[in-house]
A and B are shown apart, each in its own frame.
Chain A
Amino acid sequence: MESNYAPDGPTQLAIYERVALLKANDERSRKVIMSGRLVMPYYSYRGQEVIPAAMAAALTDDDYWVTIYRGIHDMLAKGMPLNDLWAEIAGRVDGTCKGKGGPMHLTYPAKGIMVTTGIVGSSMPIANGIAWGSQLSGNDRVTVATFGDGASNIGAFHESLNLASVWKLPVIFLCQNNLYGEHTTYEKATAAKRIVDRAAAYDMPGVRVNGNDPIEMFAAAREAVARARAGEGPTLIEAMTFRFHGHVFGDADAYMDKAQKQAAMDADPVPIFRARLIAEGIATEAQLAEIEAAIEARIDAAVEFALASPFPELSELTKDVFAEGVVA
């Protein structure tokens, strides 16, 4: 990895703040669901926090991101406010989508969060279009499309990488390879030994990193962003990771290799990152504890805000199908 793309101390701390937020938010989500106070389909991202935290640290608010149903970590990393997120996943009127999108369709254009799709593979064709818009406008905004390893086997992946390469679009294809597509293992579903090898077929740079390592992940992100901003086209990043809580929260994980899962959880990237920041003198224990306490307090407030927010009026059922007042 090119060392000139490595994060400095303050950047690492900024990445950790995001990581801590994502981890705490996932833990709280599962807790609130278990308490029965909130009902939603939940696709836990626990274990994958470092990837979007490092990616987002390489972007600005003006850059765009398109994510998928397992994407709340991406959206929080990109800057979606907690109140808007929590009210949305609770189906309330103060949610970012007025409660009409839910956890699989989070949208927050003010921070470049343009689409969350519930369809495997569909983040990529749309990300291309946003990137085409940047190219047409002549601005230097970059678009990130996240997706899982399973999505690299669907047609949209191949159509999108091909078009992005032919058009030299400022887009980053960020694959979060957690080794499972729904319940099926990577090996059983994917012919390529490594997803990143597919980049060669589309004549674009491909880099595989340990997505759980903030330094490696940030360096890859920063290099891809630099390439996109310079008009040199797309990059495929394959970030290796693992999801700790199965496909959808509540599934029994019977399809997962127990030893593999235990090993991954033993290597939880968050406490490892935390300990390293302290060991290397980038932050003190007290400093990190203060950051984490502040995050818990923010989440407390967001959950209370969300659960106190009213449900949408039934008249919302038929609103936003089309622009109002254009054609009845």
Chain B
Amino acid sequence: MTGTATKAKPVTILQAINSAIADAMAADDKVVVLGEDVADPEDGGVVGVTKGLSSRFGEHRVRSTPIAEQAIIGAAIGASLVGYKPVAEIMLMNFTTVAMDMIVNHAAKLRFMSGGQTHVPIVIRTMTGTGFGSGGQHCDYLEAWFAHTAGIKVVAPSNPADAYGLMRAAIDDPDPVLYIENLPAYWAQGEAPAPGHVVPLGKAKVVKQGTDVTIVSYSRVLTEALAAVEQMEAAGVSAEIIDLRTISPWDKEAVFASVAKTGRCLITHEAVTEFGVGAEIAASLQSAFFGKLKAPVARLGAPYAPVPFSKPLESAYAPTAGRIAEAAISLAK
């Protein structure tokens, strides 16, 4: 069931995620929340994404945990095996590395290894993203690690309506979903989703039509791509912009349809370019469109380096509207 976003007072991404979890909890008492500081006595999360949930649904359903990521994901997996739908928060994406055994060896594989006897309907929420000067261990984009693991879906919304709809879809999904939130973009406003709005997993969205070059992106960098439109148009380049929304499994059909039209593609994300999501998409495009492309598929991500602290370095790390425009214009020339 796919609802449609309606015109209403704008909301932030943070509010949209909060509402999606609240609405899911109200609709199904099997939905539970756990993670560091998630309950209201601990402020409802370090930035308040889960604020109000424990007061409304009880601390038995919204449970603050020790700082123990393996224990958090293990508890989510176990509860999901006996009928619950846990939404687990791993505060920062870099902290998922502490729980990789639970996520990769267990959550992603139990359905397969049990021959379909068990499954793990959990959502792992995690935030990340450069911009707040947090340096090398607090803002990496590690989505390619998870996209490379068979058995876990990966989503990354760029706006409030999608944030709501993807969260509802992720909670309803019978398999594990990693849900990536961008920290600096939490307070970005957008059209409010209608209650019950669902964005199906695996479906991208063409957010701007164009004819010369397809730009594929997701999460905060998608908004940079939109901000690049004016500069591209001034240079006479018409870009079609696709918000992937679900990174894995990705919507090949939507991307292929666009590239069939434009013949050019730029994939841009905040993660390091090397071995990133862009590489997978580029490889698929060259297989499907070899000889038909008007230019080599281009990628624009972060340089092959950890995230730096110093502001000028950090600002030069992730793709910006200006750099996306330059890359797209040079591709279209």
Contacts and interface: CB of A to CB of B under 8 A. Distances in A.
B68 A162 contact: yes
A97 interface: yes
Contact of B106 (A95, A115, A321): A115
B117 A97 contact: yes
B150 interface: yes
Interface in A285-308: none
A122 B106 contact: yes
B75 A129 contact: yes
A156 B70 contact: yes
A132 B113 CA distance: 23
A101 B113 contact: yes
Interface string B79-100: 1111110100000000000000
A126 B71 contact: no
Nearest to A115: B110
Contacts of B61: 136
A134 to B, nearest CB: 7
A137 B106 CA distance: 23
Nearest to B110: A115
A98 B75 contact: no
A327 interface: yes
B174 interface: yes
A126 B73 CA distance: 8
A133 B70 contact: no
A125 B73 contact: yes
Contacts of A259: none
A320 B71 contact: no
B115 A136 contact: no
B74 A101 contact: no
Interface in A219-236: none
Nearest to B102: A125
Interface string B163-203: 00000000001110000000000000000000000001110
Interface string B139-156: 000000000001101000
A171 B36 CA distance: 22
Given A125-B78, A133-B78, A323-B175, A100 B115 contact: yes
Contacts of A130: 78-79, 81-82
B75 A163 contact: yes
A275 to B, nearest CB: 40
B115 A107 contact: yes
A129 B173 contact: no
B105 interface: yes
B105 A101 contact: no
A321 B73 CA distance: 19
Interface in A96-152: 96-101, 105, 107-109, 114-115, 117-119, 122, 124-137, 143
Contacts of A320: 111-112, 114-116
Interface residues of A, number: 50
A112 to B, nearest CB: 10
A4 to B, nearest CB: 31
B184 to A, nearest CB: 29
A114 B118 contact: yes
Contacts of A281: none
B79 A129 contact: yes
B66 A159 contact: yes
Given A126-B106, A322-B175, A326-B174, A132 B115 contact: no
Nearest to B175: A322
Contact of B249 (A96, A107, A166, A327): A327
A96 B115 CA distance: 7
A328 interface: yes
B70 A159 contact: yes
A160 B74 contact: yes
Contacts of B102: 122, 125-126
B77 interface: yes
A125 B60 contact: no
B65 interface: yes
A155 interface: yes
B66 A319 contact: no
A321 B150 CA distance: 7
Contacts of B246: 327
Contacts of B175: 322-323, 326
B76 interface: yes
Interface string B108-133: 00111111111100000000000000
Contacts of A323: 111, 119, 174-175
Nearest to A97: B115
Contact of A126 (B68, B78, B200): B78
Contact of A327 (B78, B83, B119, B201): B201
Contacts of A327: 153, 173, 200-202, 246, 249
Given A136-B84, A160-B71, A323-B175, A107 B76 contact: no
Contacts of A167: 63
B81 A326 contact: no
24 contacts: A97-B114, A100-B115, A105-B113, A107-B114, A114-B82, A122-B106, A124-B74, A126-B78, A126-B81, A126-B106, A127-B74, A130-B78, A136-B79, A137-B83, A156-B70, A159-B71, A160-B71, A162-B68, A166-B66, A320-B114, A322-B174, A326-B175, A326-B201, A327-B153
Interface of B: 32, 60-61, 63, 65-66, 68, 70-71, 73-84, 86, 101-102, 105-106, 110-119, 150-151, 153, 173-175, 200-202, 246, 249
Given A66-B78, A115-B118, 15 more contacts: A101-B115, A105-B114, A107-B110, A128-B74, A129-B80, A130-B79, A136-B79, A155-B70, A159-B66, A163-B66, A163-B68, A163-B71, A163-B75, A323-B111, A326-B175
What 9 pairs between A and B have smallest CB-CB spacing? A129-B78, A125-B74, A97-B115, A98-B115, A133-B82, A107-B114, A159-B71, A130-B78, A105-B113
